Amino acid sequence: MNGSRQIFRIIAFSLPKAGLSAKNTIFTIMVSINTMPPHTRVWVYQADRKLGHEEIALIKEATHNFISQWAAHGAPLTGGYGVFKNHFWVIAVDEADAAATGCSIDKSVNFVKAYGEKMGVDFFNRLNIATELDGHLELIPLNEFEILVKRGEITADTVVYDNTITTIGDFNNRWHTAAGNTWLSRYFAKQTVK
């Protein structure tokens, strides 16, 4: 995996009081995504515009703070996050020790929605297709995507980002893939992927 696709994992654990004021202290360890197992659940949120460097830094800081306190019924979750290609905010949870529950997932969704509103960014417009055209990431509205397919300007081999993936294994192996290998394949009924 190349260095530009790093995501970090936060492992939360408690240690007995060691001269600190709190009865139990939560410590976090940052680890590369390379150590997260393939079954780790993942959510990909796509921005409706390119994010600036300062915005990305703020997202990373806020997400680090959120995940370091993220829990399911009081059990700390092993979570990770990353921002990729200046468009994609990824949040992950390894459910080996504690499973994400409906409430904990809702908290993460509400966190992303609220932070997006604060930044003036929509992370929930699923009608924009992220694709690579001429070596650049472009967001194309679905209705325009269909027109470009009919014109032959987008083919089954055009690279897209499949934000419907649900695990780190899929994120690593098929998030960035040919459109014909995704849910968009229905638009290429007569084409085959090379």
Prediction pTM value: 0.82
95 lies in some domain: yes
Tell me: do 132 and 115 sit in the same domain.
Answer: no
194 lies in some domain: no
Tell me: do 80 and 134 sit in the same domain.
Answer: no
**Which neighbouring-strand residues pair with 92?**
42, 80
Our separate counts of H helices and E strands in the chain read 4, 11
Determine contact, residues 148/140, Cβ cutoff 8 Å. Answer: yes
Tell me: do 70 and 41 sit in the same domain.
Answer: yes
Total domains in the chain come to 2
Tell me: do 86 and 146 sit in the same domain.
Answer: no
**Angstrom distance (rounded) from CA 167 to CA 24:** 32
106 lies in some domain: yes
User: Which residue in 73, 87, 85, 91 sits closest to 36, CA to CA?
Assistant: 91
For the stretch 119-160, pLDDT in tens is 999 999 999 999 998 889 999 999 999 999 999 999 999 999
79 lies in some domain: yes
For the stretch 36-64, pLDDT in tens is 789 999 999 999 999 999 999 999 999 98
Tell me: do 139 and 115 sit in the same domain.
Answer: no
Determine contact, residues 149/188, Cβ cutoff 8 Å. Answer: yes
Determine contact, residues 184/129, Cβ cutoff 8 Å. Answer: yes
Tell me: do 111 and 136 sit in the same domain.
Answer: no
**Which neighbouring-strand residues pair with 12?**
28
193 lies in some domain: no
pLDDT band (50, 70, 90) for residue 15 = very low
Determine contact, residues 26/12, Cβ cutoff 8 Å. Answer: yes
184 lies in some domain: yes
* CA 58 to mean position of chain CA atoms: 16
DSSP 77: P
112 lies in some domain: yes
* CA 149 to mean position of chain CA atoms: 26
Tell me: do 108 and 157 sit in the same domain.
Answer: no
Tell me: do 102 and 182 sit in the same domain.
Answer: no
Tell me: do 51 and 113 sit in the same domain.
Answer: yes
Owning domain of residue 113 = 3-119
77 lies in some domain: yes
